Amino acid sequence: MSSRPAAGGGRWVEVDPTRLGRWVEGFADRHGPPTTTAREYGLLLAAPDGATAELYAPPGSPATVDLTGFVAAAGTPRRIGLLLARKGAVAVGVAEGAELVVSKVDTRYVQGRTAAGGWSQQRFARRRDNQAKAALGDAAELAVRLLLPEAAKLAAVVCGGDRRAVDTVLADRRLAPLVPLRAERLLEVPEPRHAVLVASVGAARAVRIRLRDPAPELAG
C-alpha cells in the first residue's frame, strides 16, 4: 500500500483490491463503524470520530451503493487495456486481472536538446519535433494492432506517462472506439519499459482512497 499527500488536505493511499476488505475493517477499528454514502467517484465512508475515506472505484469497476458490493466489484478480475506514452517511447498491454497477457514496448530515438543557438538550435528543434511525431505515430499503430481488436472485451483503458503524448496517440481516428473506455486518472510512470508496464497493472487495478484524519478537537 502506497501513501502520499493529497492536494487540498488529507492523503492518498492505494490499496490492492484483494486487501480492500481488510483495509476497511482496519479503518472501522481505528475510527469506529462508518456510515456509507454513494458518490459519483465511488463511496464515502464517514466515521464517528470525524475521519473520512473517499473510495474511488478502480477503472472498469461497476457502480455500487453499498460497501459489500464495492469491495466485491473492486476485486473482480477485469480485462483492462494499458497505454503508456512519452515522447520517444510507448508501452501497450492488456491485463486480465493482475496478469499482463498482451504486451509490446517500442522505443524510438528522439534528439536531445542542444546548447547551440540561432539557426542550429532551430534546426535541431525541428528535427526533435519530427522525431517525436514519428514516435507517437508508431505508438498509434501499436495501439491499433494490440488494443483496437480488444475494444469490445475491455472494461477500461488506463493511460500513463505524458498526457499530451497520450492525447496525441488517442487522437488517431482509428482509435475512436477506445476513447469512451479511457479512465480519467493518468498514471505517473517513468519512460515506458516492460517492467514499468508490468508494474502499471497493479497501479491500474488499485483502489485509490483519499483519507482525512479527524480534526484535533474531535479526535481529542
Specify the CATH number for the domain of residue 177. Answer: 3.30.420.60
Query: Do 166 and 189 have their domain in common?
Result: yes
Q: Which pLDDT score, from 0 to 100, does residue 86 have?
A: 84
Query: Do 20 and 96 have their domain in common?
Result: no
Q: Which pLDDT score, from 0 to 100, does residue 112 have?
A: 45
161: left (phi over 0), alpha (psi -120 to 50) or beta: left
Q: Which pLDDT score, from 0 to 100, does residue 20 have?
A: 97
Query: Do 184 and 148 have their domain in common?
Result: yes
Handedness of CA 16, 34, 219, 12 (dihedral sign): positive
Query: Do 35 and 131 have their domain in common?
Result: no
* Rounded distance between C-alpha atoms, residue 148 and residue 172, angstroms: 12
Query: Do 70 and 155 have their domain in common?
Result: no
Residues (pLDDT < 70) of the chain are 2, 107-137, 217-220
Residues spanned by the domain of 58:
2-76+206-219
* Rounded distance between C-alpha atoms, residue 115 and residue 125, angstroms: 11
* Rounded distance between C-alpha atoms, residue 55 and residue 20, angstroms: 10
Query: Do 109 and 177 have their domain in common?
Result: yes
Query: Do 160 and 210 have their domain in common?
Result: no
Query: Do 99 and 193 have their domain in common?
Result: yes
* Rounded distance between C-alpha atoms, residue 110 and residue 167, angstroms: 19
* Rounded distance between C-alpha atoms, residue 73 and residue 64, angstroms: 8
Query: Do 199 and 124 have their domain in common?
Result: yes
Query: Do 100 and 172 have their domain in common?
Result: yes
121 DSSP assignment: H
Q: Which pLDDT score, from 0 to 100, does residue 4 have?
A: 87
Query: Do 56 and 84 have their domain in common?
Result: no
Query: Do 150 and 124 have their domain in common?
Result: yes
Residue (of 168, 166, 172, 175) closest to 146 by Cα position: 175
Tally of domains in the chain = 2
